[in-house]
Structure 1
Amino acid sequence: MIKLLLNTVFFVCFGVASVANAQETSTGVSIPVLLEEQADNGSVICSQQGGTGYKLCDSNYASSVLGVVTAKPAVSLGELTLDNEFFVITSGIAEIRISSFNGNIAEGDLLSTSTVKGVAQKASKNGFVLGSALTAYNADNLEDIGTVFVSINIHQTTGFTDVRTNLFEILREGLAAAVLTPLAALRYLLAAIVVVSSFVLAFVYFGKLAKAGIEGIARNPLAHRTIELTVIFHLVITLAIFLVGLGVAYLILVL
């Protein structure tokens, strides 16, 4: 509440924010976003491929998710000037459109994007999520669209048991994300540095070893078997160096 009050005073004083006097459907600061189509209150918004604009999310666990449309923001940066502009909140609490086609929603469940345009669903595997549901939603008809309140915290979750999730998929989705917190961005950067460094170290190590092995065989052909076994042994060490690097990078991302 104090944070919201400070934000309101700051933006009003500098003339760059407008505060809604009507009943709010969200908390936090919203921004005006131009969409390629009409959107309802609670619709989930993603950035388009290549960063050319914004649209209603239409894929599961979209890494390009930006936030949620709010019709009555508590605080907004700027004003709506075009027909297809909408206020979008990227963090805070907002009402969100939801469906139960991936299961009914309980309080505390993680929510993700879905293949239904602008509609969220219960998250059941690793990937990008919007945040946690603050209210429950139950529907027998899977085609029904309802609403719940969500605490928006866009991030990549690795808490589900999913054998298909791997380090490179995590890195790829993370780098494609529309919203990253400074801490998340630092983790992805460190993980990428560790992966690249381990690959370079392993490549240089094996390159020097292979050169020495070839020179050794040329000088002493009779010892070629011993030299070959030595090269194989060091090749295993090279792979171990790279795998350790991958393991460290994975731990940086998931812990």
Structure 2
Amino acid sequence: MPTLPKLLIILSAAILLILPSTVFAQELGIGVATYLPLSESAEDGDIVSINDNVFAKSKLQYDPGVVGVVVENPAVEIDTQPIENSYPVISSGDVYVKVITLNGDIKKGDILTTSGEPGIAMKSSRPGFALGIAGEDFSSKNKTEVRKIKVAVHLHYSY
């Protein structure tokens, strides 16, 4: 006759084999997101800035008001009060960010900053406010072609 621990192991294995299970995979979105009310609609990968006390997609090159990136599926969300037109924004972590090659092709390890295109990053070519570090390459002959690439978001001033 099996002992109690053996019975528990057999019973646990049987339950795991019989019951249906679901595994959830998450796209990149590693970081803590805070919901921010934006003055316009936004989508996954858009860069957000604050200017004149209003959160919106960044529209300035090297924007000193940059606060983070809209992420559709963050690892952790902090939503204290539901606010209309709010989006989860990550200020630090690994996410997909919309980029263009306005300042040249992007190579893994390049410093990225905000561009003049709403919500979109570009390679940094001078000192200024930085969004983070490119996690992959992106090249395009069309300087305004938008693509999402992995970025380690780390807001800082880059020299």
1:29 equivalent in alignment to 2:32 = yes
Partner in structure 2 of residue 145 of structure 1: 146
| Cα distance change on mapping 1:36 and 1:140 into 2, 3 Å | same
Residue equivalent to 2:70: 69
What percentage of residue pairs aligned between the two structures are identical? 31
1:125 maps to: 126
Does the CA-based 8 Å contact 1:45-1:66 persist in structure 2?
yes
Q: CA deviation at 1:124?
A: 0.3
1:144 deviation in Å?
0.9
Higher relative contact order (Cα pairs below 8 Å, separated by 6+ residues): 2
Structure with higher Rg: it is: 1
Distance, in Å, in 1 between the alignment partners of 2:116 and 2:149 is: 18
Give 2:106's aligned residue. 105
Query: 1:129 Cα shift?
Result: 0.3
Range moving further from structure 2, 25-34 or 73-82: 73-82
Question: Is the Cα–Cα contact under 8 Å of residues 109 and 122 in structure 1 kept in the other structure?
Answer: yes
Shift of 1:83: 4.6
Tell me: CA distance 1:83–1:139, structure 2 relative to 1, closer, same or farther (3 Å): farther
Separation of aligned partners in 2, 1:70 and 1:142: 24
Q: Secondary structure at the match of 1:91?
A: strand
Residue-by-residue CA offset, 1:117-153 (whole Å, 9 max, x unaligned): 0000000000000110001111111121001111111
TM-score, normalised on structure 1? Answer: 0.51
Alpha-carbon distance, 1:99 to partner: 0.3
Say which structure is richer in strand. Answer: 2
Contact 1:46 1:56 (8 Å CA) reproduced: yes
1:136 aligned partner: 137
Is the partner of 1:107 in helix, strand or coil?
A: coil
Q: RMSD of aligned C-alpha atoms?
A: 1.5
Distance in 2, matches of 1:81 and 1:137, equals: 36
What's the CA shift for 1:28? 1.0
Aligned structure 1 segments of 4 or more residues deviating by more than 6 angstroms: none
1:53, distance to aligned residue in structure 2 (A): 2.2
Question: Kindly tell me: are residues 38 and 80 of structure 1, through their superposed partners in 2, closer, same or farther at Cα, counting changes over 3 Å?
Answer: farther
The aligned length equals 136
For structure 2, the 5+ residue unaligned runs are: 1-23
The 3-state SS of whatever aligns with 1:28 is strand
